[in-house]
Amino acid sequence: MKPPPRLGPDATIGILGGGQLGRMLALAAAKLGLKCHIMSPDPASPAFDVVHRTTVADYTDTEALDRFANDVDVVTYEFENIPAETAVFLSARKAVLPNPEVLAITQDRLSEKDFITGLGIGVAPYANVETRADLRGAIEKIGRPSVIKTRRFGYDGKGQMMLRGDAPLSDADLNLIWEDLGGQPCVLEGFVTFRCEMSVVAARNAAGQIECFDVTENEHQNHILKVSRVPARISPEAHAEAIEIARKIADAFHYVGVFAVELFLVEDGGRERVLVNEIAPRVHNSGHWTQDGATVSQFEQHIRAIAGWPLGKPLRHGPTEMINLLGSEVEDYARYLAEPGASVHLYGKGAVREGRKMGHVNRVLPQKS
Amino acid sequence: MKPPPRLGPDATIGILGGGQLGRMLALAAAKLGLKCHIMSPDPASPAFDVVHRTTVADYTDTEALDRFANDVDVVTYEFENIPAETAVFLSARKAVLPNPEVLAITQDRLSEKDFITGLGIGVAPYANVETRADLRGAIEKIGRPSVIKTRRFGYDGKGQMMLRGDAPLSDADLNLIWEDLGGQPCVLEGFVTFRCEMSVVAARNAAGQIECFDVTENEHQNHILKVSRVPARISPEAHAEAIEIARKIADAFHYVGVFAVELFLVEDGGRERVLVNEIAPRVHNSGHWTQDGATVSQFEQHIRAIAGWPLGKPLRHGPTEMINLLGSEVEDYARYLAEPGASVHLYGKGAVREGRKMGHVNRVLPQKS
């Protein structure tokens, strides 16, 4: 594995993935004078529009990966579902940041939860469902309501199912659940009744500097993030606990780059507790507000971290709200353009599909005096 | 001439010029989901790094211009010295904004000054020096100290000369001056003793909406902008007068896009007066602070205007300072990266040359309470 580099201002960053996150990473790199090369199997990748060097190839195409690695000074990614072999192949050639070990752990919900609990951080009760045979025992242990999730490749509510009710489940019922999730290893999680969903977006560089953005309160619709708000309406204690969790995770991973920890604020015997839902080893939708609401954005922090540059100390301009434009909601862009203080970000995606993330709006609200 | 379009979010903007201004325009367009195609004769143009479509060709290459025009939905430019024929050639194919008439007037210092004074706006005393034969009469009229400037293609102090002293000038002296400036039409301007140099960056769209950024105070070193500060330390009356001047010019030009008016604040018989130095029909270095100090940047305003979209209502985050990184000063970037509230912009220019604009830093200063 290559050590993290310290890039000069003429360096080129390789980004795996050509969606809106890759696009916004490339824009942040450009602000800092750095070049980007985007690799994605999709020739219509929105990120291609903002860089001069692109590779259209499958992530398992070793010839393309080799050329890509030769053209760049460091490799990063916009999504955590990069095949493990791709990360390993590339990391023999150039530094891959965050490192492939982080990917391996966070790609598997079970190893992720084991890792988090190993740090003494709370998560919802969970049980491994390695095979169909484990299902009944897991349900007995965790109870219902609970959520069964595939261990790999789930996002935005895909690859998961709620288990409700308390009528006994027949073998046929269990078979149905198992088949519905594709007959693959799963994890069963106790359903958590939370006071709010929140996240911490944090950055760490190889020198060990850690900078966390303020805790963000998140509101989902159909498992897709709809609105983020800062400051989160939580107690100073819960805020401090959330930040402490992010710092612990950053250090334990020797993390280089930006990540998000999705959290639940729960009440446990009259006491507030912060539980980790999951870790996203990348820039995160709930950090988009930082583009307009803070003096340095999550995208720039990620680029600084993987470039081996000092991280920014994020100062917040004021209370900020981020609204995702999903599907045809993007057609409202002109209304938001005319709203004072609103900042519109569109991703240049051609096709509007229901629920597709087409853009977002950041509202920096006037400060109360 | 094509009418100003109203672009859809999948449109492509053509930009003539591949320097840092074209680069930052393209980045602002990308934020709004728009694609850009950059045309520049220089294969090492920094703006090429942030767009997928580029044309390397001379601005007089009509075949290349034709292909370029066919690929884009609207044409704009990052510098005012586009050959007039280029603008005319393109405007027969696609809307060119700001329109070629604006270019024609502002490319010639004399017609620019005539235009401004025609609006009842003050400028320093000036005289036309069409030929060598006009020189003595002009100096007699305007006096010394005064500045002689070529009517065309001057920038950052190039193509100008101070005339000082009061010893009579011989014909040989006048010949020398004339030859030094390349024996081309000039304008002689009375030297103005100003209290401060300032500018207004303003945007206007085809619907007639005008939005001005706060007046900016500018500090030059060797004729190159070094520092801009907002708010400018001027009276509310001078501020209002400066804004009024920008609005008048915007309307008189039926301007579409962003421009800057460079101004002098002078004392005239105990009274403050605002004089126009020159107009830059494009985004301007003294508006770079808007990237971090306001809720919408000058680059985004320009893109909105030429796209036929509503302009943003710029709100300022706080007192802001912009510092240009000239030549080897760019090597200080790491120091600025570590400074809380400072935002570093590097242009991705390879070669460091003395006085070359390599980047800038915006400092959003904490507000006094």
Looking at B142-270, which runs of residues are DSSP E strands? Answer: 146-150, 160-163, 186-190, 194-204, 210-212, 216-221, 224-230, 257-268
Chain B residues touching A10 at Cβ < 8 A: 348, 350
Domain identity same for B229 and B348:
yes
What the block records as the tokens of B126 is: 């000036």
Nearest in space to A103 (alpha carbons), one of A91, A121, A94, A93: A91
**How many domains are contained in chain B?**
3
Tell me the CA distances in angstroms from B227 to A192, B221, B324, one per residue in order: 54, 9, 6
d(CA B364, CA B336): 12
pLDDT band at B269 (very low <50, low <70, confident <90, very high): confident
Round to whole Å and give the CA distance between B224 and B208.
32
Residues B345 and B231 in one domain: yes
Instruction: Please indicate if any CB of chain B lies within 8 Å of the CB of A74.
Output: no
The gap between the terminal CA atoms of chain A, to the nearest Å, is 52
CB B34, CB B7: distance < 8 Å: yes
Residue where a domain stops, chosen among A190, A210, A236: A190
B330 and B236 share one domain? yes
Domain-embedded: residue B105: no
Task: Compute the residue count for chain B.
Answer: 369
Decide if A359 and B51 are in contact by the 8 Å CB cutoff: no
Write b or e for each residue in A276-292: b if 16 or more Cβ atoms lie within 10 A of its Cβ, otherwise e: bbbbbbbbbbbbbbbbb
Residue B5 lies in a domain: no
ipTM over 0.90: yes
pLDDT of residue B367: 55
Question: Which residues neighbour A35 within 8 Å (Cβ) at sequence distance 6 or greater?
Answer: A10, A11, A12, A13, A29, A51, A52, A53, B49, B348
Element (H, E) at B320: strand B320-326
Q: Is B299 on the interface with A (CB under 8 A)?
A: no
Residues B211 and B351 in one domain: yes
> In angstroms, what separates the C-alpha of A118 from chain B's closest C-alpha?
33
The candidate with the shortest Cα–Cα distance to A280, out of A302, A307, A312, is: A302
Percent with pLDDT over 90 in chain B: 89
Other residues' Cβ atoms within 10 Å of the Cβ of residue B354: 8
Q: Are residues B171 and B249 in the same domain?
A: no
CA distance B225 to B45: 22
Residue A119 falls inside a structural domain: no
Same domain, residue pair B233 and B358? yes
Nearest to B25 by CA among B76, B100, B98: B76
Please count the other Cβ atoms lying within 10 Å of the Cβ belonging to residue A148. Answer: 23
- Angstroms from B351 CA to nearest CA on chain A: 10
Q: Report how far residue A27's alpha carbon sits from residue A20's, in angstroms, rounded to the nearest whole number.
A: 10
**3-class SS string, A28-97:** HHHHECCEEEEEECCCCCHHHHHCCEEEECCCCCHHHHHHHHHHCCEEEECCCCCCHHHHHHHHCCCCEC
Whether A111 is covered by a domain: the verdict is no
Please list the alpha-helical segments (H only) found in chain A: 20-31, 62-71, 84-91, 100-106, 109-118, 135-142, 171-180, 236-252, 290-293, 298-307, 333-337
Sheet (strand A12-16) strand order:
A53-56, A35-40, A12-16, A74-77
CA–CA separation, A307 and A299 (whole Å): 12
Cβ atoms of A221 and A157 within 8 Å: the answer is no
B161-197 b/e (C-beta count within 10 Å ≥ 16 → b): bebeeeeebeeeeeeebbeebeeebbbbbbbbebebb
Selecting from A26, A341, A350 the residue whose C-beta is nearest the C-beta of B315 gives: A341
Nearest to A228 by CA among A152, A324, A143: A324
Question: What is the distance in angstroms between the Cα of B88 and the nearest Cα belonging to chain A?
Answer: 28
Residue B49 Cα to chain centre, angstroms: 23
What is the three-class DSSP state of A105? helix
Where residue A19 sits, what CATH number does that domain have? Answer: 3.40.50.20
B279 with B184, same domain? no
Backbone dihedral region of B184: left (phi > 0), alpha (psi from -120 to 50 degrees) or beta? beta
Task: Flag residues of chain A having pLDDT under 70.
Answer: 154-157, 366-369
B31 → closest Cβ in A315, A342, A345: A345
pLDDT, tens digit (0-9, with 9 covering 90-100), for B15-65: 999 999 999 999 999 999 999 999 999 999 999 999 999 999 999 999 999
Domain end among A140, A170, A190: A190
Find all residues with CB under 8 Å of B120, minimum gap 6, and list them.
Answer: none
B30 touches A at CB < 8 Å: yes
Shared domain check, B224 and B159: no
Q: What is the DSSP letter of A123?
A: B
Task: Look at residue B110 and tell me if it is in a domain.
Answer: no
Instruction: For B208-231, write each residue's pLDDT tens digit.
Output: 999 999 999 999 998 899 999 999
Interchain contact, A337 vs B49, CB within 8 Å: no
Mean pLDDT value across chain B: 95
Question: Tell me, what's the pLDDT at A1?
Answer: 72
User: Does residue A224 sit within a domain?
Assistant: yes
Question: Is B44 near chain A, with CB under 8 Å?
Answer: no
Whether B297 shows a pLDDT value over 90: the answer reads: yes
A92 burial via Cβ count (<10 Å: 0-12, 13-18, 19+): exposed
- Do B17 and B77 contact (CB within 8 A), yes or no? yes
Report the CATH number that the domain containing residue B178 is assigned in CATH.
Answer: 3.30.1490.20
Chain A residues within an 8 Å CB radius of B338:
310
A303 part of contact set with chain B, CB < 8 Å: no
* Residue numbers of the domain that contains B185: 125-190
Tell me whether A295 touches chain B (CB under 8 Å): yes
Write out the binding residues of B for ATP.
109, 149, 154-160, 189-192, 197, 220, 277-278
Q: Phi and psi for A313 in degrees, rounded to 5?
A: -100, 100
Q: Is the pLDDT of residue B145 over 80?
A: yes
Residue position matching structure tokens 């900020």 = A320
Looking at B161, B190, B219, the residue that finishes a domain is: B190
Q: B329 in a domain, yes or no?
A: yes
B7 in a structural domain: no
Same domain, A180 and A211: no
Interchain pair B340, A295: CB under 8 A: yes
Per mean pLDDT, which range of A114-128, B142-156, B224-238, B296-310 is the poorest? B142-156
The reply to whether B219 and B328 lie within a common domain is yes
Beta bridge partner(s), residue A295: none
- Residue B218 carries which side chain, given as an amino acid letter? N
The verdict on B205 and B337 lying in the same domain is: yes
For the domain that residue B241 is a member of, what is the CATH number?
3.30.470.20
Q: CA of B217: how far to CAs of A344, B116, B319, in Å?
A: 29, 21, 12
pLDDT over 50 (residue B106) = yes
**Residue A222 and residue A312 in one domain:** yes
Touching A: B residues 224-243, CB under 8 Å: none
Looking at residue A153, its pLDDT comes to: 79
Residue position matching structure tokens 């001057």: B154
